[in-house]
Chain A
Amino acid sequence: MNWSTCLSALAAFIFTGVLAMAGPAEEHFENLVRPLLAQQCQKCHGEKKQQGGLRLDSRQAILKGGDNGPAVVPGEPGSSLLIRAVSHSTELKMPAAKKLPPEQIVALERWVRDGAAWPGDGPPKAAFDSASIAKTLWSLRPVQPGAPPAVKNGAWSKTGLDRFILARLEKEGLAPVSDADRRTLLRRATLDLTGLPPTVDEIRLFLADTGPEAFAKVIDRLLASPRYGERWGRHWLDVARYADTAGDGADYPTPEAYRYRDWVIDAVQSDMPYDRFLREQIAGDLIPGRTGNDYAQGVIATGFLAVGKRYGYAPNPDFQHLDIADVIETVGRSVLGLGLGCARCHDHKYDPVSAADYYALYGIIQSTRIAFPGGEEMKRPVNLAPLVPPAEARRLEGEQALALAAARADLNSLQDERSRLDGSEWAGGPDLAFEGQTVGKAPGKPWLAMGANTVLAEAQSPFRHVHPAGKQGVRMAASQTNDGIRMALPRAVRKQPGGKIHLTIDFRTLAEPKEPGACRFYFGRGVIGSTAIDFSLSARQFAIRQAEGWKVIRTIEPGVWHTLSLALDPDKGSLEGVVGKPGDLAPVVGKILPNWDGVIDTFICDGLGHLPGKVCTHDLDNLGISTRAFGSPGGGPVVPSPVPADAAARLGQVDAQLGPAKKKADDLAARKPFAQAYAVAEGTPANARIQLRGEPDKLGDEVPRRFLEVLGGGKVAEGSGRRDLAQWLTSPANPLTARVMANRIWQWHFGQGLVATASDFGIRGEQPSHPGLLDWLTAQFIRSGWSLKAMHRLIMLSRVYQLGSDPSVDQQANDPGNRLLGHFQRRSLDAETLRDQMLFVAGSLDLTRPGRHPFPPEETWGYTIHNPFYAVYESSHRSLFLMIQRNRRHPYLALFDAADPNLSSAGRLPTITPTQALFLMNSPLVHQQSAAFAKRLLASPGDNLARVRLGMEMTSGHLPDAAGEHEALSFLAQSRQKLPAQATAPDQAEQQAWAALCRVLLISNPAMHLE
């Protein structure tokens, strides 16, 4: 084709294009509708934003519609959502801010009626193509380790690593600074690997060892120290967003979480290969063939998935999508360095992660049972993971249940006997028939009454099949919703395997009431803790509550006594019985309410029945709640057993046995038959459906459980898919996992990663400063068997690690961020190290492992969002063992920028604030530790000068020069003078002066930095 034919072809194309759009419908569209859509609609429904999931920038998108369905039905303006919305004729009014002028609405209607023509429309821009994004993303390319580059100054490098750094510095025309002095290096390495400063003895030994292996020996010594696992375990805990509370509204404690914390410390200490370290945390419970402690450790490791921030109030699915979001986001950030969270609502704009990828992983996590910490509505933890295999757990649970049943049976028979012996108690329990109450008054203990409730002789039920003949019942006058009576049973009734629970009550409504309302009979645990079943009584109706709502069972005749007699079968979750009067008994069948926890210890009658309004006057009598059956309605009268002659003596014996029997039953009930972890277990395997825009009630297509497409996709072999996930994450074919960790290790040594965004290796993350070095390190890491300790040796024996920390003038000018690593980056001690160092030099640091936090016992938990859990526990252990709370953070840890446990943390963001300085100047902690430090120095041999030198060496690793010594000594003298002379004994004055000096040393820059 020559130029002229080309041009004429183009002209023909344009010409036909114009012709094609010349019809009236097209003209109408171009003149009126297209500009209208662009000006009025596409800001929110276009390429950038798709509110309501809707785009209005192509015909295809409009026909596809958004969350509410198609926006336009061509030819049918009346059925077109777009037209209804712009006419403001329904709930959906668009544009929301201002209705369109009438002529524009008419124009849109006409366009739809004429078939919604859209000349030149193709499909909207291809939305998502992970493969093409992946091609442009450096971090997804295979690891390609090259040989360390050639350098001009060959003698400078100690290791291959150094040549990568030097080559780049040489390229930029910069020279590295000289090496750090040996004291600085020892303090650097010791703080780095153990989070504690070197002791004076350790300094002496290192200075004395002039051999070529001296520093290598130091590294080996530090790596063998138990302090190493604590320090480097804490780094991983930042990434794993570890905390000791759940972060739900009431911030429930998670007392078992510490097991995961300790597991991390031990795994790091033992140099568990990092790929296994990850597999254990994703699916340690699923590794076959494990028994005993091996099995337990595998379960504990999966605490990684469980220790996240929670959003729910009860173990139900309402907020589950957010809990799962936390898990997916954490796995993505920590292991892969990818932000997967954005794909919860839409295909990721920048990274190769689609919504389908997200819900593929979602399916895996949703198929996993995650321990529930307790929450506002369900105030006890459930689904903690047993530390014994499932079969063993069932066996132990069975044994425990049998032992508990036996203990409770013993207790029951003692209590029954006591009831018979003690004339003040009646059959069925203490005064369930109101006989012990005062006539004419509201029922008193053990009842609680609100409103107009009166014990009356005329409220006595005529029935005798449950309790012996009595003289009184309770009349509940017409009342408000919240009025009523309540009894907390002294003896809770619990479900037993194979056993039933029997409930009964007599009642009648009085007179023809004006009141339309109904009262409720509640049987359950606590006031609203857990409902077993509710019934409701209005003037003429009797109803039962079922999961789907109230159901009227029968009519009620006013003025006539009725009885309800019921057996619950907890094994089946069903109930059956009768209600009515002898000769007129209607059957009651139904289900126990779904969330009942198996305990009935409370009966309530209040106004929350099936009909609103004032409750009619009614009488109640003869309540019975028992694991043994009562007599049948109309059956033979119950007669009180005769009180035996030796009642008084026997009563004493029974009372003496009751206490121990109760304790035995309570202890058994409180004791778990096996230890548990705040971790996960297999749930019911099921794929998830895509949640449109992240809203769990707007479901799209189902996605099979698999890995990210861009990392191979894959297919779940069995169960939830966690075992597969563990393999995919650590597969050699996945370049991200090893790269991300190699970079983290670098960052934890140098304060800054080769990739500055350690948890973001996506398109928006930073590029590596030394790509060759990162791949070389990654390859070394894999070759070493994913060994952290090998990486420490590799990095710390390099020359780069051993450089001084003062930048040259050139470096300051040309590389102010030290990305090229021409010097070692000085940094402030982090929160944990700062406190640990203070306690360590003061001699007050407790280096034992503290175990679980002193949380209040579980049975006392009643935390709500109104009264959330909050505690700060004093501790002299290392700071990583402080109780880490999510919603109200530990005041010290928050002040000094410890990791925020609400999210996986890529690194600390240290700040320097005057509120920190206030803490350092005035807090009890600093004053106590400086006093202890002073005592320690005063007890050391030698003169004041020796002590000054010792104090400086302990806090900074360095000795003062002559001027520094002089200043310290004169400050001591000055301090002694400033103390009020009369009030202070000489030894106290000495102690206080030294404490002042110690305080200065502890909070000085030499002490507060790692150089």
Chain B
Amino acid sequence: MWTDQGATRRQILRSAVMASPLVAGIMQPMLARGSGNAPDALAPHAPHFTPKAKRVIFLFMTGGVSHVDTFDPKPKLTTDVGKEVKFDHPEIKDRPGYERIFLKKPQWAFRPDPKSGLPVSDLFPHVRGCMSDIALIRSMHTDHSNHYNATLGMHTGSFAFTRPSLGAWVSYGLGTENANLPSFVVIAPAQTYAGTQVYASDFLPGAHQGTLVVPGAEPVANVRPALPANRQQAQLRALERLDRRHLGNRDGDPALAARLRSFQTAFGMQMAVPDAFDLTRETDATLALYGMARGQTTGFGWQCLAARRLVERGVRFVELVDTGSSGNWDSHGDMMDHERLAKNVDQPIAGLLRDLKNRGMLDDTLVVWTTEFGRTPFNNTADAKGREHHNWAFSSWLAGAGVRGGTAYGATDEHGMRASEKKVHVHDFHATILHLMGFDHEKLTYRHGGRDYRLTDVRGEVARGVLA
């Protein structure tokens, strides 16, 4: 892989976008000459082996979803409710009022999905119906029980330091299929823990950074034309003439050409972005799948449908964040809050899976559902209403391309305390996702500061049991 300190020209070319018809005549020869063997950063390139998935929709539930109340049934937790347990748990260590802890029973009934037989709680009745397309991982675990560190870890593989995020790595590895849209889009109503770091490119070229879309009037910053189209076009033509004359005198520096081209792409984005987010031409039946009302421009249903439209248009990695750093799944006070949060996402997620399937897109689209950690199977009183942060075990799932649907992989112990069988660490989870994208996670590296960095640090094993 190339380095971050190499030839300036190549480096700039890498971050440039695909040629636009206007300047193709200038760009193509330059790309050929200036770039040598180094590919354009966002030009589509092949992964290490034939991938199952060509794109990813990454659903991130912020705050810590309780595994024992959603995807990991623990009948023993119900029968042992109130039983005192002793654990050296990070969330109770030295915490006043938590000298003693007691098992707390799940608050929702689990029922099997008729097709796959996999039990899912009543928090996710719609997703339950899609379990035959889902490989559930019940043995997830992570390094940290703080939101900040765990969220950073789930996105970047690093629990403390800023590193490129999963989406940036995928963009770096695969490029984009649509020059008029970014390769990595994050749709989030609010920032999650750790802010922009969760979709940063860090030391990877900036072209791989996630573009933030906030549901609402202007989803992408500055995408709304500041001028009427005819005046803007006239200005861009004047700019092009000026830049071309400048370029011509300078023997066609590819960086200059790339800058010129970026305006043409941006001009296209002014239309492509609103078009991607224009849901008016979706049918009533489609809107109904996502549980949406016509005209709705926010909400998780909108996010899911927008995600489908983005991947349809060649965006490589779309992350949907359901809430933000507050008002999320962090139900310390009362687990009943999970009901509101599940209701917000359940039907949209099922709708997305069904919609992708109906369109044949689930065959080469990977859908990932996860959170940063689980919630404790215990609390400091038997009748406490909430649950605390729990990094020893949680549930995540994969669906779609290359995934063995209808399976539950790994397990936790009888009370859901620890991942006990076929444990899947965050690094393993990342390795598995990259594998489905056609990458050997140990070989998708980038030289920075004298070291070859990779998403999975020095760890990571592909969880082969979830592969089809």
Give complex CA distance A612, B203 in Å: 50
| CB proximity to B under 8 Å, residues A831-877 | 865-868, 870
Asked if A53 is at the interface (CB within 8 A of a chain B CB), the reply is: no
Question: Which residues of B are interface residues toward A (Cβ below 8 A)?
Answer: 4-12, 15-17, 33-34, 36, 96-97, 99-100, 102, 146-149, 160-162, 180, 182, 191, 193-197, 200, 202-203, 205-207, 211, 220-226, 230-232, 234-236, 238-239, 241-243, 245-247, 250-251, 253, 255-256, 258-260, 262-263, 265-270, 325-326, 330, 333, 380-384, 422-423, 447, 449-451, 458, 461
Residues of A within 8 A of B203 (CB): 909
Residues of A within 8 A of B450 (CB): 339, 350-351, 757, 760, 762-765
Chosen A-B contacts, 27 in total, with CB atoms closer than 8 Å, are A248-B148, A311-B160, A339-B449, A817-B7, A817-B9, A827-B8, A827-B255, A828-B12, A865-B146, A866-B330, A867-B325, A867-B326, A887-B196, A900-B202, A902-B197, A909-B205, A909-B206, A912-B12, A912-B16, A912-B255, A914-B262, A914-B265, A914-B269, A915-B266, A917-B259, A918-B220, A967-B238
Give complex CA distance A766, B7 in Å: 12
| CB proximity to B under 8 Å, residues A885-918 | 887-889, 891, 894, 897, 900, 902-903, 906-907, 909-918
Partner of B449 from A96, A752, A906, A963 at Cβ < 8 Å: A906
| Residue in chain A with minimal CB distance to B182 | A915
Give complex CA distance A915, B213 in Å: 12
| Residue in chain A with minimal CB distance to B384 | A481
Residues of A within 8 A of B7 (CB): 816-819
Add 7 more A-B contacts to A902-B197, A978-B231, A1004-B239 (CB < 8 A): A248-B148, A805-B250, A870-B195, A913-B15, A918-B269, A923-B226, A979-B231
Asked if A975 is at the interface (CB within 8 A of a chain B CB), the reply is: yes
Is there contact, CB below 8 Å, between B206 and A897? yes
- The distance from the CB of B158 to the nearest CB of chain A, in whole angstroms, is 11
Partner of A917 from B200, B250, B265, B325 at Cβ < 8 Å: B265
Partner of B207 from A342, A887, A911 at Cβ < 8 Å: A911
Q: Known interface pairs A751-B8, A918-B222. Does A963 touch B245 (Cβ–Cβ under 8 Å)?
A: yes
- The distance from the CB of A51 to the nearest CB of chain B, in whole angstroms, is 8
Give complex CA distance A824, B360 in Å: 53
Is there contact, CB below 8 Å, between A918 and B221? yes
Partner of B162 from A350, A828, A900, A964 at Cβ < 8 Å: A900
Residues of A within 8 A of B160 (CB): 311, 322
Which of B100, B196, B461 neighbours the largest number of chain A CB atoms within 10 Å of its CB?
B196
Asked if A806 is at the interface (CB within 8 A of a chain B CB), the reply is: yes
* Bitwise interface map of A from 965 to 1004 toward B, beta carbon under 8 Å scored 1, else 0: 0011001001100110000000000000000110111011
Q: Known interface pairs A887-B197, A915-B182, A921-B232. Does A759 touch B206 (Cβ–Cβ under 8 Å)?
A: no
Give complex CA distance A248, B161 in Å: 11
3 residue pairs, one from A and one from B, having the closest CB atoms: A817-B7, A764-B450, A917-B266
A side interface size, CB within 8 A = 106
Residues of A within 8 A of B236 (CB): 921
Partner of B221 from A919, A920, A1003, A1011 at Cβ < 8 Å: A919
Is there contact, CB below 8 Å, between A868 and B325? yes
- The distance from the CB of B211 to the nearest CB of chain A, in whole angstroms, is 6
Residues of A within 8 A of B330 (CB): 866
Residues of B within 8 A of A964 (CB): 242, 245
- The distance from the CB of B6 to the nearest CB of chain A, in whole angstroms, is 7
Residues of A within 8 A of B380 (CB): 481, 612
Asked if A574 is at the interface (CB within 8 A of a chain B CB), the reply is: no
Is there contact, CB below 8 Å, between B326 and A249? no
Asked if A613 is at the interface (CB within 8 A of a chain B CB), the reply is: yes
Inter-chain CB contacts under 8 Å: number: 254
| Residue in chain A with minimal CB distance to B34 | A816
- The distance from the CB of A270 to the nearest CB of chain B, in whole angstroms, is 31
Residues of A within 8 A of B235 (CB): 996, 999-1000
Is there contact, CB below 8 Å, between B262 and A917? yes
Residues of A within 8 A of B211 (CB): 915
Is there contact, CB below 8 Å, between B96 and A545? yes
Give complex CA distance A309, B148 in Å: 14
Give complex CA distance A827, B256 in Å: 9
Asked if A620 is at the interface (CB within 8 A of a chain B CB), the reply is: no
- The distance from the CB of B265 to the nearest CB of chain A, in whole angstroms, is 4
Give complex CA distance A911, B168 in Å: 15
Give complex CA distance A971, B147 in Å: 55
Q: Known interface pairs A757-B450, A919-B222. Does A826 touch B255 (Cβ–Cβ under 8 Å)?
A: yes
Is there contact, CB below 8 Å, between A481 and B381? yes
| CB proximity to B under 8 Å, residues A310-361 | 311, 322, 333, 339, 342, 350-351
Which of A96, A249, A807 neighbours the largest number of chain B CB atoms within 10 Å of its CB?
A249
Residues of A within 8 A of B234 (CB): 971, 974-975, 978, 996
Give complex CA distance A866, B151 in Å: 12
Which of A480, A887, A903 neighbours the largest number of chain B CB atoms within 10 Å of its CB?
A887
Residues of A within 8 A of B162 (CB): 309, 900, 902-903
Give complex CA distance A855, B48 in Å: 49
Give complex CA distance A248, B34 in Å: 42
Residues of B within 8 A of A891 (CB): 221
Give complex CA distance A311, B161 in Å: 9
Give complex CA distance A350, B452 in Å: 12
Give complex CA distance A350, B447 in Å: 14
- The distance from the CB of B386 to the nearest CB of chain A, in whole angstroms, is 10
Residues of A within 8 A of B193 (CB): 249, 865-866
* Bitwise interface map of A from 602 to 615 toward B, beta carbon under 8 Å scored 1, else 0: 00000010101110
Is there contact, CB below 8 Å, between B205 and A911? yes
Is there contact, CB below 8 Å, between A888 and B195? yes
- The distance from the CB of A250 to the nearest CB of chain B, in whole angstroms, is 8
Asked if A1005 is at the interface (CB within 8 A of a chain B CB), the reply is: yes
Is there contact, CB below 8 Å, between B99 and A549? yes
Residues of B within 8 A of A927 (CB): 226
Is there contact, CB below 8 Å, between A480 and B383? yes
Q: Known interface pairs A917-B266, A1009-B256. Does A752 touch B99 (Cβ–Cβ under 8 Å)?
A: no
Is there contact, CB below 8 Å, between B238 and A1006? no
Give complex CA distance A996, B232 in Å: 9
Partner of A817 from B8, B180, B225, B267 at Cβ < 8 Å: B8
Is there contact, CB below 8 Å, between B206 and A902? no
Give complex CA distance A887, B192 in Å: 11
- The distance from the CB of A125 to the nearest CB of chain B, in whole angstroms, is 19
| Residue in chain A with minimal CB distance to B41 | A911
Residues of B within 8 A of A503 (CB): none
Is there contact, CB below 8 Å, between B247 and A922? no
Asked if A221 is at the interface (CB within 8 A of a chain B CB), the reply is: no
Is there contact, CB below 8 Å, between B253 and A918? no
Residues of B within 8 A of A1005 (CB): 242-243, 246-247, 256, 259-260
Asked if A550 is at the interface (CB within 8 A of a chain B CB), the reply is: yes
Residues of A within 8 A of B224 (CB): 922
Is there contact, CB below 8 Å, between B195 and A911? no
Is there contact, CB below 8 Å, between A96 and B423? yes
Is there contact, CB below 8 Å, between A921 and B226? yes
| Residue in chain B with minimal CB distance to A907 | B5
Partner of B12 from A97, A910, A914, A978 at Cβ < 8 Å: A910
Q: Known interface pairs A816-B7, A887-B197, A975-B234. Does A902 touch B222 (Cβ–Cβ under 8 Å)?
A: no
- The distance from the CB of A557 to the nearest CB of chain B, in whole angstroms, is 25
Is there contact, CB below 8 Å, between B96 and A534? yes
| Residue in chain B with minimal CB distance to A979 | B231
Asked if A812 is at the interface (CB within 8 A of a chain B CB), the reply is: yes
- The distance from the CB of B245 to the nearest CB of chain A, in whole angstroms, is 6
| CB proximity to B under 8 Å, residues A746-803 | 751-752, 756-760, 762-766
Asked if A441 is at the interface (CB within 8 A of a chain B CB), the reply is: no
Give complex CA distance A916, B211 in Å: 11
Is there contact, CB below 8 Å, between A911 and B12? yes
Give complex CA distance A897, B380 in Å: 48
| Residue in chain A with minimal CB distance to B12 | A912
Q: Known interface pairs A765-B450, A1005-B243. Does A911 touch B270 (Cβ–Cβ under 8 Å)?
A: no
- The distance from the CB of A992 to the nearest CB of chain B, in whole angstroms, is 9
Asked if A628 is at the interface (CB within 8 A of a chain B CB), the reply is: no
Is there contact, CB below 8 Å, between B15 and A911? yes
